Amino acid sequence: MKKGQFIVVEGIEGAGKSSAISVIEAVLEKHGIAYIKTREPGGTPLAESLRDIVKSASHDEVLTQETELLLMYASRSQLLANRILPALEQGTWVIGDRHDLSSRAYQGGGRQFDDEIMNAIADVTLKGFTPDLTVYLDLAPELGLGRAQARGELDRIELEKIEFFERVRNKYLELATASESTDIIDASQTMGKVHKDVARTVESFIAKEQG
């Protein structure tokens, strides 16, 4: 049985990840490809509990940056072992709402943990596992945060200052540009254009994979 493929959608708050994932779902369904969806942090009962800790803005104590970093990778380890890898082994494709690139951008770029620390933790938890395709939706933080605020109450990370998100975006762009398996899409375009770009990227990936 041919292994499934792991497609990840990345981007800052307000970049349009949810609607992009819907586009990817439609493309896979058109091709008769079985898939599941995951999100990070989260995706399993235990990982969802860790998500609540990371996202909540109402803790009685300050969540340290180091704790945040380790919780992200603990959640990812659970998701990888218990959902992603079993699905891929069965030939099922996986659409991920965020993966390791998020930690590289948010904790590595935003929190300014250096690459050696990020690599060491990733080596232990991911053991070299990487997505087959990453769709990075690039957007200026001002625009993205404006969209996020319009959706309602912001979580703990979304309440960070604009400088934090500028570092996040810069790290995203640095890593996405250097990755052959990452496609950068301008998320400031109209929704229709963004969706066309996402669909084109996934169609091209499927054609290459099936060819």
For the beta carbon of residue 110, count every other beta carbon within 10 angstroms.
23
Predicted structure pTM score: 0.95
For residue 184, the surrounding DSSP H or E stretch is strand 182-186
> Whole-angstrom Cα distance, residue 105 to residue 101?
6
Q: Report pLDDT for 210.
A: 84
**Tokens coding 195:** 């969706």
Q: Report pLDDT for 49.
A: 96
Ranges of the chain with pLDDT below 50: none
> Whole-angstrom Cα distance, residue 187 to residue 15?
6
Q: Report pLDDT for 186.
A: 98
Quick one: CATH architecture of 6-39+88-120+127-210?
3-Layer(aba) Sandwich (3.40)
Residue ranges of the domains in the chain? 6-39+88-120+127-210
